[in-house]
Structure 1
């Protein structure tokens, strides 16, 4: 779907009415040094995988001044996180009030334009985001793709790339993401290994498997963001 088609789709009323975007991003376009680093996590309904990633990354990175938000390509607008996802989030270190307070929202172009890193749960979500805003291609990764690409980047290499990017956290993170994006095509993987399984309306075991795929990837996200802030 092209950007024009997406806008026509939005105008047609086929997309759920999201109303005002909750917790709006601050500042102007990406590159505004006064705005904090921003991570956007994306899945389908915005009630399982992406809010799990959101609240866990927020617990780890918000004390460092990083903003973390989430949205869904076909969001169940206004719905809370599912109870199994909330419990997994709390068990993994998220605040209970953050997990309970989540309200699903629809992925829209301004959210992508404001994000320094777009972290999706599956390849279909990355494709959707890039069709909406093609300029986000080098900032958009599935969570597991991100971790896979990070596997070949040691602490020294990450620090050198960040240092070469500049002095602001935004420039440093952009340099690290460029380093990872350049490795696409070299760090081979079976395609399905880049996706986090969707547990919605499935068993507790499937929720656990989904979280088991996601959590190690979030460790790598935290490592790279911390390198950009060092």
Structure 2
């Protein structure tokens, strides 16, 4: 068993979508995925637009309908092996709350950018060095990805490491947000499968 935490502002659009997609895609690997918001609403549902996108991407509609937002707390960050923020501001708040988790916390698009040039063989070797425990293997893969900070060129526009917030905006913005999130989650899945399978 290993654990992932996804974080956005309100915990109603981006982070629950990431949570539900990761839980769906990685169910066979024994993952536990949670989400929270840095300035979250209390017990708010996902907007219908976010639920529609989740359903279109293969998430169980009942799971999307059941989501209720919650606030991020320092205690949330003690156990996750990976923490995926949806934007740089969220990652900054995560690190301020739990400085010891800096190497485990990424924006999801930053993680994808850093991992792009890391081979599956290198990920598997790093995980093998950590032993058989799934959590230790994921943390080793995350450390390898984190080690590429400063080596991998940053994006020309720093906002390219963020997933756009669609809340209260047009349907097209919800689609754009998903188009930014899903390719990053494809890389997350590749990294985790290389580390664990």
> What TM-score comes out, normalization by structure 1 length?
0.83
- Quote the offset at 1:228 in angstroms: 2.6
Q: Which structure ranks higher in relative contact order (CA pairs < 8 Å, sequence separation ≥ 6)?
A: 2
- Provide Cα deviations, 1:142-193, integer angstroms capped at 9, x if missing partner: 0100100111111111111111222211111111111111101111223111
- Quote the offset at 1:63 in angstroms: 3.2
Runs of at least 4 residues off by over 6 Å? none
Query: How far apart, CA to CA, are the structure 2 residues paired with 1:83 and 1:160?
Result: 42
Query: How far apart, CA to CA, are the structure 1 residues paired with 2:5 and 2:60?
Result: 18
Which residue is equivalent to 2:119?
154
Which residue is equivalent to 2:108?
143
Which residue is equivalent to 1:168?
133
Task: Report the aligned-residue RMSD.
Answer: 0.9
Which residue is equivalent to 2:185?
218
Query: How far apart, CA to CA, are the structure 2 residues paired with 1:95 and 1:63?
Result: 16
Q: Report 1:73-222 matches (<5 A).
A: 73-188=38-153, 189=155, 190-222=157-189
Query: How far apart, CA to CA, are the structure 1 residues paired with 2:27 and 2:78?
Result: 20
| Gap regions ≥5 residues in structure 2 | none
Aligned counterpart in structure 1 of residue 25 of structure 2, from 53, 56, 60 = 60
- Quote the offset at 1:203 in angstroms: 0.5
Query: How far apart, CA to CA, are the structure 2 residues paired with 1:185 and 1:81?
Result: 36
CA contact (8 A) 2:124 2:196 kept: no
CA contact (8 A) 2:13 2:46 kept: yes
CA contact (8 A) 1:62 1:68 kept: no
- Quote the offset at 1:226 in angstroms: 1.7
> What TM-score comes out, normalization by structure 2 length?
0.96
Change (3 A) 1:228 1:156: closer
CA contact (8 A) 2:3 2:135 kept: no
SS of the residue 2:159 aligns to: helix
Which residue is equivalent to 1:9?
none
Q: How many residues align?
A: 195
Query: How far apart, CA to CA, are the structure 1 residues paired with 2:4 and 2:139?
Result: 12
Larger radius of gyration: 1
- Quote the offset at 1:227 in angstroms: 2.2
SS of the residue 1:41 aligns to: strand
- Quote the offset at 1:118 in angstroms: 0.4
| Gap regions ≥5 residues in structure 1 | 1-35
